[in-house]
Amino acid sequence: MASISPRSPPVVLELEKNSEASTTTSKFVLHDVILRVFLFATSLVALVTSKQTETIPVPFPPYGASVAAEFTDLPAFIYSSAVLSVTCFYSIITTILSFSALVKRSTTSSKLMSCVFSVDVLLLGILASTTGASGEVAYLGLKGNSNVGWHKICNVYDSYCRHIGFSVLTSIFSSMVLSFLIILYIITVSRR
Amino acid sequence: MASISPRSPPVVLELEKNSEASTTTSKFVLHDVILRVFLFATSLVALVTSKQTETIPVPFPPYGASVAAEFTDLPAFIYSSAVLSVTCFYSIITTILSFSALVKRSTTSSKLMSCVFSVDVLLLGILASTTGASGEVAYLGLKGNSNVGWHKICNVYDSYCRHIGFSVLTSIFSSMVLSFLIILYIITVSRR
């Protein structure tokens, strides 16, 4: 906060406040751009890793046969891929928006910002739910569940399982980045 | 917005603006209280419905025997119950906070508000992920998955499955209410 000295006339104080607000805003825009680039990177990696099709030799008779493990085998992964594609595309658009604000050294209108961050909130909900769904399938595949008779499949679908696990991990990162983005905005806007 | 007429002196304009801001704030606090009560109700219903133990007669030999279906059978439901308990407890605290602000006709400090809504964001991520995980298990239980050899279980665990389905539905409502709360805050704060 600008310190109030008895010598400072009100106009100087106002100017100091304005320059402080401008510094906070440009810091926010910089962090916004960095986080959105992170969001793009993590969602792209998660998307690419989840959308794999692999041919896996089966360890039981008939030996020599193989099964194709595709992400379309389980609906949770289809949902996950769709949401990750949307996140990836959305992060490109919003990065461009934030980057242009950074280059112009001006903030985008507060109406547009509130719109972007409202969509961020909705996307966080959807992305987190898809991460939960994929994570649950990956966990069931890894451990199985004897109570309901679902056997583990990761001993057969070995490398495919690893990819799915990595995809779930990067999805969690994406969700965390989105959360940080929204929290950063809330804190910055509340300080005004 | 306050209309600018040539006759209005600056002081009147300022007062008009202040009263307008106060109306917006009290409206926001009222909506906040209502949404937080909704959040409490939906999370409580979801919690109570998910934490059921039921004894179900099995339709295959040995006839007359029964299985106990508990929410602890599947880790996703344990996670779900834990998160719903936290949401329920958190919604009580924040409802009291918002309600006291409504009664006193004053807003809580902007620092506290930004803290509360930052926790809301984190909770939304966790709640949405647990909803996704439970929803995926419920879907697998209902439909099964022939690709990985997981058979459906809802033909056996009939009423238990209905309860879990209802619990997932109310969890989705909880997540939506949390999203609306955060979006409402973002829009209100951006307008300042």
Q: What is the pLDDT of residues B5-62, one digit of tens each?
A: 444 455 555 556 566 666 777 788 888 999 999 999 999 998 887 776 666 665 555 5
Q: Report the gap between the CA of A51 and the closest CA in chain B (Å).
A: 17
Residues in CB range of A170: below 8 A, 6 or more apart: A42, A43, A45, A46, A49
Q: Per-residue pLDDT for A146 more than 70?
A: yes
Backbone angles phi, psi at A184, to 5 degrees: -60, -45
Residues in CB range of A50: below 8 A, 6 or more apart: A71, A77, A80, A81, A84, A134, A163, A164, A167
Q: Hey, are the CB atoms on A148 and B73 less than 8 Å from each other?
A: yes
Q: Hey, are the CB atoms on B187 and A133 less than 8 Å from each other?
A: no
Backbone angles phi, psi at B68, to 5 degrees: -95, 120
For the record, the structure tokens of A42 come out as 């993590």
Judged by DSSP in three states, A150 sits in: strand
Which tens digits make up the pLDDT trace of A70-127? 777 788 888 999 999 999 999 999 999 888 888 887 666 778 888 999 999 999 999 9
List all residues of chain B from 57 to 96 with a beta carbon under 8 Å from chain A. 73-76
pLDDT at res. A19: 66
> Of A35, A186, A187, A192, which to mutate for an interface test with B (greatest number of B Cβ within 10 Å)?
A186
Separation between Cα atoms, residue A170 and residue B128, nearest integer Å:
17
Which tens digits make up the pLDDT trace of B66-105? 666 677 778 888 899 999 999 999 999 999 988 888 888 7
pLDDT at res. A3: 43
In this predicted complex, what is the ipTM? 0.82
Assign residue A105 a region (left: φ > 0; alpha: ψ between -120 and 50; beta: otherwise).
left
